[in-house]
């Protein structure tokens, strides 16, 4: 083979390789696009068909053991019997909501589940996403009259976050709930 023939074969191989890479890149993009569409569809189905709450704790991210859920449920249940204030906790994994829709979903859950007594609007929903490193507390209108947004933010900063930073979700959630209960007991 002459050097010009080798050069042509070599250039042909390079072109073949380039087209192969372009095809693989295009296929990868198509696959990513399909995954994105199916994830968004899954999220929309979750939004449209929220499961009914099965207790005060609805742990879709599996942050708590069964024993921890039982303890948290007992604390909330005892407080609800004492005051009628309802506190619901929902953990939401990243497959159920995008980061920019996390707060919207927590409000949607509050309204859909009807957290709090309707005539008193005395519910609190605590939404937690370990995956997004976010927490949102939604206070009903009746709670907002006795617990300010600043106080709620302080509870998040001083009770929830220190434990969450150490990945101690049960301890942080328990500390946050107990502080909310302490504040509400003084004012109800």
Query: What's the mean per-residue pLDDT of the chain?
Result: 88
For residues 62 and 112, state if they share a domain: yes
What is the distance between the alpha carbons of residues 5 and 9, in angstroms, rounded to a whole number? 6
Q: Same domain for 34 and 66? A: no
Pair 101, 12 in one domain: no
Number of domains in the chain: 2
Q: Based on the domain organization, do 77 and 96 belong to the same domain?
A: yes
Residues 84 and 163 in one domain: yes
pLDDT at 188: 86
| Same domain for 182 and 90 | yes
Distance CA 11, CA 31 (A): 30
Same domain, 30 and 66: no
Q: What is the pLDDT, as a whole number, of residue 14?
A: 54
- Domain with 3, as residue range(s), is 1-49
Q: Which residue has the higher pLDDT, 22 or 163?
A: 163
| Residues 39 and 106 occupy one common structural domain | no
Q: Per-residue pLDDT tens for 143-181?
A: 999 999 999 999 999 999 999 999 999 999 999 999 999
Q: 77 and 106 share a domain?
A: yes
Residues 70 and 162 occupy one common structural domain = yes
Whether residues 101 and 10 share a domain: the answer is: no
Task: Answer yes or no: is pLDDT of 49 > 90.
Answer: yes
**Closest residue by Cα to residue 170 from 156, 179, 160:** 160
- Residues 100-106 have a mean pLDDT of 96
* Confidence bin at 8 (pLDDT 50/70/90): low
Q: Hey, what are 82's tokens?
A: 């004492």
pLDDT reading at 99 higher than 90: yes
Query: What CATH number is given to the structural domain containing 132?
Result: 3.10.310.50
Catalogue the E-assigned strands of 19-122.
Answer: 57-59, 86-91
Q: Which residues pair with 127 in a beta bridge?
A: 90, 136
If asked whether residues 28 and 73 sit together in one domain, one would say no
| Lowest model confidence (mean pLDDT) among 35-44, 46-55, 87-96, 156-165 | 35-44
């Amino acid at each position: 083979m002459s050097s010009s023939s080798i050069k042509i074969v070599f250039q042909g191989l390079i072109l073949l390789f380039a087209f192969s890479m372009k095809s693989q890149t295009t296929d990868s993009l198509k696959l990513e696009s399909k995954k994105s569409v199916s994830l968004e569809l899954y999220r929309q189905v979750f939004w449209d068909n929220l499961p009914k709450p099965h207790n005060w704790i609805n742990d879709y991210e599996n942050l708590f053991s069964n024993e921890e859920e039982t303890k948290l449920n007992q604390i909330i249940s005892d407080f609800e019997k004492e005051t009628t204030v309802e506190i619901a906790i929902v953990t939401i994994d990243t497959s159920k909501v995008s980061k920019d829709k996390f707060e919207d979903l927590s409000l949607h859950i509050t309204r859909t589940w009807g957290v709090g007594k309707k005539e008193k609007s005395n519910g609190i929903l605590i939404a937690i996403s370990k995956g997004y490193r976010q927490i949102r507390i939604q206070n009903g209108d009746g709670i907002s009259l006795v617990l300010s947004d600043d106080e709620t933010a302080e509870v998040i900063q001083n009770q929830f976050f220190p434990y969450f930073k150490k990945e101690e979700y049960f301890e942080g959630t328990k500390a946050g709930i107990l502080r909310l209960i302490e504040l509400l007991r003084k004012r109800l």
